[in-house]
Amino acid sequence: MPSAWKSVGATAPCLIFVLVAAAATVATRGHQTGPRGQTSADLLAARARYPAHWWAPVPKKGAPDWEILPQEAGPGEVVVSKRYELRLLSNFAATPFIFRGRRYASVEGFWQMMLYPEGPRDPRAGFPGVTWTHARDEVAQMTAFEAKAAGTAAEQNMARMGIDWVSFEGRRFPYRPDRPGEHYALIAAAMGEKIRQNPDVKKALLSTGDLVLKPDHHEEPNARAAWHYCDILMAIRTELRRRP
């Protein structure tokens, strides 16, 4: 196991191995597109086992440009829409969890926090011409679009500084590596803790059965593994079934 994975293994040991395998599968075969051996008609009929509103049409007029609407799911798929109860699965969701002894308000807050200086000795803190509008601890308690906006501002600062790394507990590592590394491992472990510590989130995830989870937004081209949160969720779902 690469050292990057060992560093988070103590937090979620049963998840680390399955998430490594999931990341490797995505890298080599692409994203899951549906249960094998079933026709489109079979997959559409299987929707009867789930809440009908998961696929209820939403008017495109007035919908945000970034949004993939529930009715755009293919056979055997469900969009993890922020419009209904599966919103709990989103990294944006206000689903507090404890990770390495600290509380985070959401996975999004945890993610974007890593882009911020860890203290006054952090080289990012005193870089000439760069202003940080939030403190790292403040971002850790953000959720949803507020956390996302804080991350966007931090990425602009990273571009000004010419750096491509983020940090956690004093360790620096690449933010967008070609292969899943420490950033991916931390995000996956944090998602696992969020689900473990929030029964409603675990219930929502397991309620999706064998459906392929799809994001409710258009992902950036060539997005790295950590950005494919639905793949991570499905790997965790598989592990939960094996080890309830």
Tens of pLDDT along 106-116? 999 999 999 99
Q: Are 141 and 114 in contact, with CB atoms under 8 Å apart?
A: no
| pLDDT number for residue 18 | 54
What CA–CA distance (Å, rounded) separates 123 from 129? 13
| Residues sharing a CB contact under 8 Å with residue 206, sequence separation 6 or more, in sequence order | 237, 240, 241
CA dihedral 139, 236, 32, 43 (to 10 degrees): -120
Q: Quick one: average pLDDT of 199-223?
A: 94
| pLDDT number for residue 5 | 44
| pLDDT number for residue 31 | 55
Q: Quick one: average pLDDT of 150-172?
A: 97
Q: Are 244 and 15 in contact, with CB atoms under 8 Å apart?
A: no
Please report which confidence band the pLDDT of residue 220 belongs to, taking 50, 70 and 90 as the band edges: confident
Judged on CB neighbours under 10 Å (0-12, 13-18, 19+), 241 is exposed
| pLDDT number for residue 111 | 98
Q: Give CA separation, 161 vs 67, 124, 135, 182, in Å.
A: 32, 8, 18, 22
Q: Are 240 and 206 in contact, with CB atoms under 8 Å apart?
A: yes
pLDDT above 60: residue 144 = yes
Please report which confidence band the pLDDT of residue 142 belongs to, taking 50, 70 and 90 as the band edges: very high
pLDDT above 80: residue 237 = yes
| Residues sharing a CB contact under 8 Å with residue 113, sequence separation 6 or more, in sequence order | 104, 136, 137, 139, 140
pLDDT tens-digit profile of 27-37?
444 555 555 56
Please report which confidence band the pLDDT of residue 221 belongs to, taking 50, 70 and 90 as the band edges: confident
